[in-house]
Structure 1
Amino acid sequence: MGATTLILLDVQNGIIDMLGRVEMEPYLEHLASALSAARSSGIKVIHVITAFRPGYPEAHPTNASFAHVMQHGLFQVGDPAIEVHAAVAPTPEEPVVTKRRVSAFTGTELEMILRCTGSDHIVVAGLITRGGAVDCAIGDGFGFADYDEEVHRVLMDKVFERKAEVITGKDWAAKLTE
């Protein structure tokens, strides 16, 4: 097997705030532990955030996925909401890829970075399990969290397992130290 890369998807302040900082603390602790194990094992890490330029030129006005974001002026470049959460903050060597679509691959340099680093095995962790970014990352290229436990369970147990190996961050981190 070649290089493994951990992709942390949308673990940024604004999304943590939307989901509830207190509710997200256990998830962030588990994610930080898995990230630490990955770094200790020499696994490359890439952070992916969602951010838009002022005026949202990347989002069509009729795009229902981004309507709320545009209406409330959220996730614009320079806003602390787009910063990676401190619990999993990138090191200077870890690239931060900015996505302006739902997919981390569409219109970003993520695929190029993965190819240039020789990555042929990716591990994706991030927010939010349902639809959107996480589902696109699995379909395009895989711990996740969602605010609806039942939706999360169904996706992890019935949908994602058909596309990828599904494993908890804790179990993955333990495998790294074996």
Structure 2
Amino acid sequence: MTSVPHTTATAIDPTRTALLLMDFQPAVLAAVPGSADVLARASEALGWARTHDVQVVFVRVALTPADAAAVPDRNKTFAQAARAGWLEDGTPATALHDSLKVHERDLTIRKVRISAFASDTDLRAQLLQRGIDTLILGGLTTSGVVLTTLRQAADEDYRLFVLTDATGDTDPEVHRVLTEKVFPHQAEMITTTDLANLSSA
């Protein structure tokens, strides 16, 4: 994977920080080359968050029958998946990967569109309730949930970090362009090894 510039930021406040691990589900993992390595880095980030009492948020995409029926044919991304049942809630394909164990304090958000903030998820309210103003993002895909969530979060004034080695895309070149040329305008680019350097403010 192409290297990216690392952040010069040195401090976060763990009590105001959340780690978002997004769309680490069999249905998505199967479509991304090198997803096993990305998943391994996400697991490392999860371990770091647990050690430092950082809020963990798992985000997954899944459609109930009602959600699927409500997807209009004009939705290029979701219409076919909804009709074919590829993202049906309650199936192994839309569950979190087995290696990502949910603890009682964690938040699990089910969404019905690409962004973690999309549709009727209560992510925004949950973060506000906990005083979270800093987000560390990892997920699949870089051009999907990571891009859309980052853009929304930036517009809402969150401090943002992207774990470049805990994100991946179906197209490695797209991943490179986003992490090297697009995302740095709104977020700090880091890897999981950089997490140890983010000390308490």
| Matched residue, 2:133 | 120
User: Where in structure 1 are there 5+ consecutive unaligned residues?
Assistant: none
Count, aligned residues: 174
Q: CA RMSD in A?
A: 1.8
Q: Which residue in 2 is equivalent to 1:163?
A: 186
Specify the alignment match of 2:100 in structure 1: 88
> Counterparts in 2 of 1:121-160, with a 5 A limit?
121-130=134-143, 132-141=144-153, 142-143=162-163, 144-160=167-183
Scaled by the length of structure 2, the TM-score of the pair is: 0.80
In the alignment, structure 1 residue 27 sits paired with structure 2 residue 38: yes
Q: CA deviation at 1:145?
A: 0.9
Which of the pair is proportionally richer in strand? 2
Q: CA deviation at 1:19?
A: 2.5
- Quote the Cα distance in structure 1 between the aligned partners of 2:197 and 2:71: 40
The structural deviation recorded for 1:176 is 4.5
SS at 1:119 equivalent: coil
Task: Tell me the CA shift for residue 177 of structure 1.
Answer: 7.1
Percent identity over the alignment? 32
Unaligned runs of at least 5 residues, structure 2: 1-12, 154-161
AA at the equivalent of 2:78? F
**2:158 paired residue number:** none
Stretch deviating more after TM superposition (3-12 or 88-97): 88-97
3-state SS of paired residue (2:42):
helix
2:87 paired with 1:75: yes
Give me the TM-score of the superposition, normalised by structure 1.
0.90
